[in-house]
């Protein structure tokens, strides 16, 4: 066993025995890259990635093609790095319990947060609830903000009706901003409330989400 293999084994053993918290960000990336680049020294590559992107979060959220612009990062390494964030999102969603009862703004927000984990584009979801506030479905309405031309109030109503919902919570994210509703968010919420009133479905709330934070338009006084 050479010095290179010995270093890998020591780092791997340290992680297995002491956990990830004892590792620096470059060591975490170095360890991950072992599995895409089994014959290369990945310590230098890990440092280059952090220097180029600025943080481990930025590395793992980077577009595939931009990862490949870093010298030494080929297709296999780029795909492995690009896989981590959607895999973490899938893990979080797998822990979401179907049929759970959500009786507060906080409970709705915590239920919805995993759907937006790591998202770099605007997403719009509709959380559908029965008369006891039990989750019936959580449907992706569209990729692209609620203020885009493609957003349809009719589609919201159709999804709510097809899910047999008594009430719904609309949620969308601000990927590059803070969780504060815009004037357009408020106006659309009021129009959506009127549209759902016609089909006797209650708009419980509209949540604006950014990272692990969310703001309720109902709690902010924008919904009657």
The predicted structure's pLDDT at residue 3: 56
The predicted structure's pLDDT at residue 1: 47
The predicted structure's pLDDT at residue 135: 97
Segment-wise mean pLDDT, segments of 10 residues, the chain, 224 residues: 73 94 95 91 94 95 94 94 94 87 96 93 96 96 84 94 97 88 92 95 96 93 84
Q: Considering only CA atoms, which of 186, 172, 174, 179 is closest in space to residue 221? A: 186
Q: How many CB atoms neighbour CB 12 within 10 A?
A: 12
The predicted structure's pLDDT at residue 179: 84
Q: Where are the beta strands (DSSP E) in the chain?
A: 123-129, 135-143, 167-173, 202-210, 213-216
Q: Exposure of 173 by Cβ count < 10 A (0-12 exposed, 13-18 middle, 19+ buried)?
A: buried
Q: Are 181 and 214 in contact (CB under 8 A)?
A: no
Q: How far apart are CA 210 and CA 173, in angstroms?
A: 6
């Amino acid at each position: 066993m050479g010095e290179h293999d010995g270093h890998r084994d020591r780092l791997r053993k340290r992680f297995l025995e002491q956990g990830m918290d004892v590792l620096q960000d470059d060591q975490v990336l170095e360890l991950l890259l072992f599995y895409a680049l089994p014959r290369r020294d990945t310590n230098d590559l890990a440092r280059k990635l952090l220097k180029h992107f600025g943080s481990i979060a930025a590395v793992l959220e980077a577009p595939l093609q931009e990862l490949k612009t870093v010298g030494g990062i080929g297709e296999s390494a780029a795909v492995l790095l690009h896989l981590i964030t959607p895999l973490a999102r899938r893990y979080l969603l797998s822990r979401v319990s179907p049929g759970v009862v959500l009786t507060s703004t906080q409970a709705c927000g915590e239920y919805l947060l995993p759907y937006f984990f790591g998202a770099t584009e605007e997403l719009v979801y509709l959380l559908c609830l029965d008369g006891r506030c039990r989750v019936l479905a959580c449907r992706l309405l569209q990729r692209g903000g609620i203020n885009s031309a493609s957003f349809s109030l009719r589609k919201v109503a159709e999804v709510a009706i097809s899910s047999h919902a008594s009430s719904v919570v609309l949620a969308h994210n601000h990927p590059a901003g803070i969780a504060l509703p815009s004037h357009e968010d408020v106006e659309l919420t009021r129009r959506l409330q009127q549209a759902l009133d016609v089909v006797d479905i209650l708009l419980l709330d509209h949540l604006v989400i950014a990272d692990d934070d969310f703001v309720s338009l109902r709690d902010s006084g924008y919904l009657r």
